[in-house]
Amino acid sequence: MVFSSLSFLTLFLPLTLIAYFIAPRQARNAVLFAVSLVFYAWGEPVYVVLMLFSALSDWAHGLLLEKWDERPRLRCAALISSVSINLGLLGFFKYAGLVVRTLNAALGMSLSVPAVALPIGISFYTFQTMSYTIDVYRRKCPAQRDLLAFGCYVAMFPQLIAGPIVRYVTVADELRSRRESYGSFFQGVCRFVIGLAKKLVLANGAGALWETVSAQDASQLSALSAWLGMLAFAFQIYFDFSGYSDMAIGLGRMFGFTFPENFRYPYLSRSVSEFWRRWHIALGDWFREYLYIPLGGNRVSVPRNLFNLAVVWLATGLWHGASWNFLLWGGYFGLLLILEKFVFGKALQRLPAFFSWLYTALAVLLGWVLFAFEDAGMGLAYLRAMLGRTGGTDAFALRQLLDSAGLLLLCAVGSTPLCAGALRRLQAARPRLHAVLTVALLAAGFVLCLIYVVDAGYNPFLYFRF
């Protein structure tokens, strides 16, 4: 699926663009919808029916909510029906196995674990369609009567597989009428190539280093080896996900859509709270808008606020995967956020910038250990290695560090706005040179990415499983 999807984006995208722009303006939603179905069916030929059912269900519920505008009980029933169907589908396909395994372990039962494959991207498109019916219920937007336009919103291939999570109200006007331009198209191309390079060059390179380290026996790793491996994993997951988000945002710009930003250099954060304002922004906004605020947000008593935060962060962890380590990961960050909010947040703000950044970096890296290992025993063994509790030597780490020094430096620079800032200054001082250099870098980057796609030996997409 990963190779097929990237092949589609890089090799067949020109055909898609040609078909889109030669089509009459009123037919462009239909072109996008058809291409998106082909894209999804390329990797999930069976589960495309599930996605279409989800879209049809929420489109129909939106019409019912509008029809029953002055009948509160029926509107409430329609909303409950929509949310129940969405959560029911997500729960069955994503969490049924976890529930059965937990019951078997806790109660000594021998229920058969459902052998259900996880539909790719189900967490993303389910949250998108849920946001639509909830916003129609809240009267934040009118119901979409055009089924084709709504299907285009749900299935739109740029952000279908791995986000960002695009709320319907964000693109409602653009689904109805949008104007493409040469400027926005070129900006989209730039953003797409940057995202593709992030994924293929930086994320895959860091992932290969992480795979090498994690394949070792954790009891034989030195502390340096363990920290090097977790740094590589941190770079892999950042450039993997932010790279796909950049590709999605860039593709959206090419087709006339403006998708929300999803990352703002999170590894520069000086607190865990700031980190989560910069990381996976669309998901954080979704949980705040549709879970945290309905629970009462922070306009409640302190105990209730603690409860609200705990629910949101446990749900955030569980959203990422049907495994207890994700729940623990969400609880870990929820606890840190609660401590920052009620205990040492003000003291943290008074620290010199380097020390507050160092605290955040260490907290995040330790959190990635929980995320990376579904097996608790393996995760605990790796944590022991990071804390220097094993007897490994540094020879392995030094060899890996020397081999990967250039890549790690590129990843570190790419995690900051240094390159973007330098290009902006060049544009202000030497616009013609900036234009020539931009085109040259884009051409070189795209050719390099094509080589990586064709010669794809190691090419995982971490967020496809969500």
Residue 287's contacts (CB-CB under 8 Å, 6 or more residues apart) are: 312, 315, 316
Count, in order, helices (H) and strands (E) of the chain.
24, 0
CA distance 426 to 278: 26
Cα distance from N-terminal residue to C-terminal residue, the chain: 14
42: nearest Cα among 6, 4, 71, 16: 4
CA distance 365 to 332: 12
Residue 183's contacts (CB-CB under 8 Å, 6 or more residues apart) are: none
| Phi and psi at residue 4, to the nearest 5° | -60, -45
CA distance 452 to 446: 10
The single-letter code of the amino acid at 369 is V
Residues belonging to the chain: 466
171: nearest Cα among 248, 85, 238, 113: 248
DSSP letters for 136-194: HHTTSS-----HHHHHHHHH-HHHHTT-----HHHHHHHHH-----HHHHHHHHHHHHH
CA distance 296 to 293: 5
Q: From its phi and psi, is residue 296 left (phi > 0), alpha (psi between -120 and 50) or beta?
A: left
Contact between 166 and 260 under an 8 Å Cβ cutoff? The reply is yes
How many CB atoms are located within 10 Å of the residue 418 CB? 12
Residue 17's contacts (CB-CB under 8 Å, 6 or more residues apart) are: 254
Bond from prior residue into 352 cis (ω within 30 degrees of 0): no
Token pair, residue 205, equals 């390179």
Task: Please identify which residue in the block is written with the tokens 């969400």.
Answer: 330
Long-range contacts of 441-450 (CB under 8 A, 24+ apart): 442/189, 442/190, 442/193, 445/193, 445/194, 445/196, 445/197, 446/193, 446/196, 448/197, 448/200, 448/201, 449/10, 449/193, 449/196, 449/197, 449/200, 449/201, 450/10
Catalytic site positions: 320
Query: How far is Cα of residue 321 from the mean position of the Cα atoms in its chain?
Result: 12
